A and B are shown apart, each in its own frame.
Chain A
Amino acid sequence: MPAFAKIQDYELNLSNQFVNAETIAALSAYILDQTALLNEKVSK
C-alpha cells in the first residue's frame, strides 16, 4: 500500500495528499489484492 494511504476504521482520507496515476494504480491493486485475500479467508 502506498505510504500516504492508510485505511483505518473503514475509512480512507486522501485530503491534501498529492496523488498521480501511478500511486492510485498501486493503491487500487493493493485494495483488490487484500480484498481477494480476505474473501478467501472468510470463505474457508
Chain B
Amino acid sequence: MKNKEKVALNPDQIHIKNLTIDDCGMKDGAFATLMDALVRQGKLTSITYINNEFSQQSVDALSKILGNSAANGSQDQQFQHLECLKLGNLKSGNQNCPGRLIYELMVAVDDHCPKNPLKRLKLQELELGYGTPDFGFDPEYGYGSVHCISKQFEWNPGLLELDISHSKLLPGQLSSLMAALARQYTDAAGNSPSKMMM
C-alpha cells in the first residue's frame, strides 16, 4: 500500500479517453476484459479497434460501453460517453467477423443513441450486408445492419462521419441506405430525395 501511495496520481496518466488497438493480435476475451475495466472509468470517448479478433464477448463489452451512464462513472459530474467508434478488418478465429455480430453491435448503437449518440462511426471491411427476413427486417429501410445504420440517419442528427467502405453491401442495400439518407436530407433542407440521389 505504501508503494501505491508513492505513485503520482495524474488523471491524464490513469483515465483513458482515446483508445487505439491496431494489429495487436488482441483476442476477443482480452478486448472484453479491457473494456470491462474502462467502462468503470466512464471517460472513454474514442475507440479504434482494427485488425484484431472480435466475437461475442467483444460485442457484449462494447454494448456496455455504448450504454454506459454517469452512474457507472467514477465521478458522475465528469462522465463522458463514447463519441467515436472505429472498427475495421476484424476476425472471429480464422474467419471474417460474422455479420450477425456487427448487426448485434449496431442494435446496441441504435438502442443507446438517444442517451449516448455517436459522432463518428467507422465500420470498414466488415460484413454489413447481413440480414434475414426474421431479423430486423423493415420494408422501408431493408434488412439487418443496413436497417440499423439507416436508423442512425433518423435518430442521430449529431452523426458527423460514417465510413462503411469495403463492407460487401448488395446493390439493393446500398440503395436502401442512400434512400434513407436522402429522406433525412429532405426533412432537414426541404429538397427532394431525387435531387439528393443525383
- Interface, chain A (partner B; CB < 8 A): 7-21, 24-25, 27-29, 31-35, 37-39, 41-42
A38:B12 contact, CB within 8 angstroms? no
Q: Which listed residue, B7, B24, B43, touches A10 by the CB 8 Å rule?
A: B43
B16:A28 contact, CB within 8 angstroms? no
Q: How many A-B residue pairs have CB under 8 A?
A: 97
Cα separation A27 to B16 with both chains bound (whole Å): 12
Cα separation A12 to B19 with both chains bound (whole Å): 5
Q: Which residues of chain A are within 8 angstroms of B4 by Cβ–Cβ distance?
A: 33, 37
Q: Which listed residue, A7, A14, A33, A34, touches B24 by the CB 8 Å rule?
A: A14
Cα separation A33 to B3 with both chains bound (whole Å): 13
A42:B25 contact, CB within 8 angstroms? no
Q: Which residues of chain B are within 8 angstroms of A34 by Cβ–Cβ distance?
A: 7, 9, 14
Given A13-B20, A18-B25, A31-B38: A8 and B12 within 8 A (CB)? yes
A21:B16 contact, CB within 8 angstroms? no
The smallest C-beta distance from A13 to any residue of chain B, in angstroms, reads 4
Q: Which residues of chain A are within 8 angstroms of B161 by Cβ–Cβ distance?
A: none
Question: Interface-forming stretch among B26-34, B120-128, B129-137?
Answer: B26-34
Given A11-B16, A35-B15: A21 and B38 within 8 A (CB)? no
User: Interface size for chain B: under 10, 10 to 19, 20 to 34, or 35 or more residues?
Assistant: 20 to 34
Q: Which residues of chain B are within 8 angstroms of A10 by Cβ–Cβ distance?
A: 11-12, 15-18, 43
Given A8-B13, A38-B9: A21 and B40 within 8 A (CB)? no
Q: Which residues of chain A are within 8 angstroms of B18 by Cβ–Cβ distance?
A: 10-13
Cα separation A42 to B15 with both chains bound (whole Å): 13
Cα separation A21 to B30 with both chains bound (whole Å): 5
Q: Is B58 an interface residue (CB 8 A)?
A: no
Q: Which listed residue, A15, A28, A32, A35, touches B21 by the CB 8 Å rule?
A: A15
Q: Which listed residue, B7, B21, B33, B41, touches A14 by the CB 8 Å rule?
A: B21
Given A16-B22, A35-B74: A7 and B30 within 8 A (CB)? no
A24:B20 contact, CB within 8 angstroms? no
The smallest C-beta distance from A5 to any residue of chain B, in angstroms, reads 10
The smallest C-beta distance from B9 to any residue of chain A, in angstroms, reads 5
**A-B interface, 7 closest residue pairs, ranked by CB to CB distance from nearest:** A28-B37, A24-B30, A15-B22, A10-B17, A11-B18, A13-B20, A34-B14
